[in-house]
Amino acid sequence: MNFFEHQDRARRNTSLLVFYFVIAVLGIICLVNLAAYIALAQAGFGQPTFPQWITSQPFFWSVGLTLFVIVSGSLLKLWQLRDGGEALADMLGASEILPDTESPDQRRLRNVVEEMSLASGIPAPRTYVLSHEQGINAFVAGYRPSEAVVMVTQGTLAELNREELQGVIAHEFSHIFNADMRINMRLMAVLAGILSIGKVGEFLLHSNRRRGFSARRSSNSKNGSALIIAGLALMAIGYIGLFFGRLIKAAISRQRELLADASAVQFTRNPSGLAGALISIRNGQGSLLDTVHAEDMSHMCFSTTVPLKLNSLLATHPPLDERLAALGPDWVTRANVRARQSNTQSNTQPSAPTSPTAADPRVAGFSGAEGCASNGVDASANAPASHADHSAATPSAANRVGVIDAAQLGYGQRLLESIPATIKATLHSPAGARQVVFALAILASQSDRHELLKLLSLNPQDGEQLLALADSIDALGSRLRLPLLDLSITSLKQFSRDERDALCTKLNQLVQHDDKINPFEFLLLVLVLEHLNKKSGRARPVRFRRYSQVAGDIQLLLSIIVFSGGARDDDAVALFSRARGSLLPPGRTLLPASRCTLNALHKALRNLRDLTPLLKGPLVDTLADIIVADSKIQVAEIELLRAVCSVMDCPVPPVELPR
């Protein structure tokens, strides 16, 4: 199952979630009406027969109010989480780990996240810490892969070493690419509605208590008793709703956790990191959370957040021993050995090799082809790309989208290490990241540098510093331009709304100054606009389910990609004809070069991003086929592909080109 199939499955699971929600609501309505029937009888309003009750006005009021409470609870939670992971971080009171943090533990986490994001082709997610949580846990949240946030507990930072932390973050990145985040956010909203009935019951009980003991002795004692009965009944129904809510979460979550473990091993090719983290939870701090939102988040986290009875039925995660056994047959034994060790040895790492192979029986469960197939993971994703077909630019490019392997992770680490310390320090502040973006725009433009500086309204000293920064970046070569941009976006998100808008305006002026837009300028502008606009973190609907609905947009995109590789005249026509395949009807031919502008492409991509996921995969494959048709991969082609895929929410791993 590749990235696009995971995305489609998640959308289908959302439909299944709606079905579960409807069933739960119907059950709650029946129980609420039974409670109302009993409460009214207790209050002295008579004892109507069942046929009389279901046709009475109180019955319809009861149904309407119940639906109103449940739907309002869900809609309110959806509204609170409308901005995705950042909204959830605010709700939890999480503290952002800023790029310039001086904490060694936090700096280590940011390095791991940055390496993995560079390897996968997405901007580094914003990273948060739950500073009051001592259990070992983590989760990702958001509606789009490129707009995810990563949150970890303080216990995770304090208790895990770098290898274990990398295993946990790889697990969470797999949730990003497996499209689990979106349904997790939806699930929080659905369960908030189901549980809202219990909160109404608590309100009724508290209201009755405030009336005092004397009120119960008055002529309204029957009404008071009715409120008590109704409150207790609604609280009981709320707990029943909680039970069924946990059933829904368990049905959706358990297998996804095993899949995420499998993907994490594929990403790192090192099961000892993930196993070490699981053993630390099993034998040490545990993973439970103290926050009042622990129940709401139980399906999102790396491990269990709340204690459960009926664990085999209601747990959102498989037992730790089951997860360890899936990593290899001797990890449970190692966990037991570590449990018997003294406190001074409790943090000792397992002695498994740090670079195991698929033949190693300890990792046969997930690392080998057989194990991956049994867990729904494409084993071919483990194979390193050859020189001719690196990363996204392969005949099966769609299978490389949203995939990290050991080779890509190593490349991400090398990219991060290649950035000079002075430029890294500049990237750590929003103001510095803005200067890096402006420097990249100046390097890409054909306009006079001093004319561009006038657009920025800088004083002479700041202007000279910006030009010096541009020269330093230019000396690094073109392969670091995109990583610098990805790392800049994380810092730029700390800007206020007005500062973001001002940055986007200035950048657009720089790019448009010479009336020409090259592929890197297009990529620069698209990425900044996509990630800094006010709706960047929100979910996007599927509007198109057939290629015919966006045929003109696909025709323009294929034509631009054909011309970007240098093909002209008959060669360009032939390449377009081979590439269009089943994407376009016979009447759609190569557009004239004069119509293939990047400004027009930006408008077309706003439609293509709303294709159903299963239609995006063949489109990405076709783009990659065009790029490798001449057996050459040019930087401009890769930058254009990255821009297209970024708008369509398709994380493309970087291509390691010869220097």
**Span 538-597, pLDDT tens digits:** 778 889 999 999 999 999 999 999 998 888 889 999 999 998 888 998 889 999 999 998
Per-residue HEC secondary structure of 369-438 comes to HHHHHHCCCCHHHHCCCCCCCCCCCCCCHHHCCCCCCHHHHHHHHHHHHHCCHHHHHHHCCHHHHHHHHH
As a whole-number percent, the residues of the chain with pLDDT over 90 amount to 31
Rounded mean pLDDT of 426-454? Answer: 92
Neighbours of 8 (CB within 10 A): 19
As a whole-number percent, the residues of the chain with pLDDT over 70 amount to 82
Q: What are the φ/ψ torsions at residue 127 (nearest 5 degrees)?
A: -120, 135
Rounded mean pLDDT of 79-85? Answer: 88
- Domain parsing of the chain, residue ranges: 3-84+184-260, 419-532, 547-647
**Span 317-362, pLDDT tens digits:** 888 999 999 998 889 988 888 888 644 444 444 444 333 333 333 3
Is residue 407 within 8 Å of residue 384, measured between CB atoms? Answer: yes
For residues 426-445, b (16+ Cβ closer than 10 Å) or e, as one string?
bbbebebbbbbbbbbbbbbb
**Span 635-648, pLDDT tens digits:** 888 888 888 988 88
Torsion on CA atoms 407, 356, 278, 126, rounded to nearest 10: -10
Q: Is the pLDDT of residue 365 over 60?
A: no
**Span 264-292, pLDDT tens digits:** 888 888 899 999 999 999 998 789 999 88
Q: Please tell me the predicted confidence (pLDDT) of residue 386.
A: 34
The H or E element containing residue 127 is strand 126-130
Q: Please tell me the predicted confidence (pLDDT) of residue 223.
A: 56
β 138-141/95-96 pair status: unpaired
Q: What is the pTM of this model?
A: 0.80
Q: Please tell me the predicted confidence (pLDDT) of residue 101.
A: 87
Task: Look up residue 572 and give its amino acid.
Answer: A
Compute the C-alpha angle 52/54/59, nearest 5°: 110
**Span 428-437, pLDDT tens digits:** 899 999 999 9
pLDDT band at 382 (very low <50, low <70, confident <90, very high): very low
Rounded mean pLDDT of 393-399? Answer: 57
pLDDT band at 517 (very low <50, low <70, confident <90, very high): confident
Q: Please tell me the predicted confidence (pLDDT) of residue 396.
A: 60
Axis crossing angle, helix 271-283 with helix 221-268, rounded to the nearest 10: 150
pLDDT band at 201 (very low <50, low <70, confident <90, very high): low
Of 451 and 659, more confident: 451
List the strands of the sheet with 95-96, edge to edge. 95-96, 126-130, 149-153, 138-141
Contacts with 414 (C-beta within 8 Å, 6 or more apart), sequence order = none
Q: Which of 36-45, 286-295, 409-418, 436-445 is modeled with the greatest confidence?
A: 436-445
Rounded mean pLDDT of 375-394? Answer: 36
pLDDT band at 37 (very low <50, low <70, confident <90, very high): confident
pLDDT band at 51 (very low <50, low <70, confident <90, very high): confident
Q: Is the pLDDT of residue 228 over 50?
A: yes
Q: Please tell me the predicted confidence (pLDDT) of residue 351.
A: 41
Contacts with 206 (C-beta within 8 Å, 6 or more apart), sequence order = none
Q: Please tell me the predicted confidence (pLDDT) of residue 631.
A: 80
Residues that are catalytic: 172
Q: Please tell me the predicted confidence (pLDDT) of residue 44.
A: 61
Q: Is the pLDDT of residue 655 over 80?
A: no
Q: Is the pLDDT of residue 533 over 80?
A: yes
Mean pLDDT of the chain: 81
Neighbours of 330 (CB within 10 A): 16
- Locus of tokens 């509007």: 543
Rounded mean pLDDT of 439-447? Answer: 92
Is residue 523 within 8 Å of residue 635, measured between CB atoms? Answer: no
Rounded mean pLDDT of 228-256? Answer: 73
Q: Is the pLDDT of residue 370 over 50?
A: no
Q: Is the pLDDT of residue 467 over 50?
A: yes
Q: Is the pLDDT of residue 24 over 90?
A: no
